[in-house]
Amino acid sequence: MPAHLLAFAGVLLATTLMGGAAAAATPAPLPASSSATACPAVLQHRFDRLQDEKPQSLCQYAGQVVLVVNTASYCGFTGQYKGLEALYNKYKGQGLVVLGFPSHDFSQEPDSNGKIAEFCENTFGVKFPMFTKSHVTGAEANPLFQQLAQRSGSRPKWNFYKYLISRDGQRVTAYSSFTAPDDPALLKDIEKQLMTK
């Protein structure tokens, strides 16, 4: 074998022995456009859909303005379902999504997931995404609500507490249960967030 080919083979062998194993053990960096990078941390959670209990990634809502609400079927604020659905219908074409999280933390959601889904659809015509019943406050709160409470500095005080998440997932604003879905201040904040691309 010619000398220059022997030298090349030696370099190749040395590179393989010294760096090949390390290179193989180190995963390639994710491209900037990957879903892991594009999805903000606050949405990097999976929950089961209320209607069929199939797992859903909240990353599918990345890039949208997200209004998260903890709900209950037997509450003085339950009528807000109608307003939330109207809000969703009015702004979904502009990039708003409403996410409902039923909870029995305030002793007003004793029903099963199937009954909750039936109630929401039959009574209020709810079409916005809903997820299975979970804890939204205290040590057992689901990871999303833990994050929302931490970022906003406010945990749910009652049913139909609301969190507005900006398109980039960096800003979280909390609203009390008394803030109705058609509250002018809430609508103003939603419209402001929708204008931000």
Q: Determine the Cα–Cα distance for residues 168 and 182; give it in Å rounded to an integer.
A: 24
Spatial strand order in the sheet of 65-71: 96-102, 65-71, 162-165, 172-175
Among the listed residues 125, 124, 128, the one whose alpha carbon sits nearest the alpha carbon of residue 100: 128
Secondary structure in 3-state letters for 136-170: CCCCCCCHHHHHHHHHHCCCCCCCCCEEEECCCCC
Handedness of CA 91, 92, 96, 99 (dihedral sign): positive
H or E element that contains 174: strand 172-175
Catalytic (active site) residue 39: no
* Active-site residue (options: 39, 59, 75, 120): 75
Residue 51's φ and ψ, nearest 5 degrees, are -65, -40
Give the three-class secondary structure for 101: strand
Residues with a catalytic annotation lie at 75
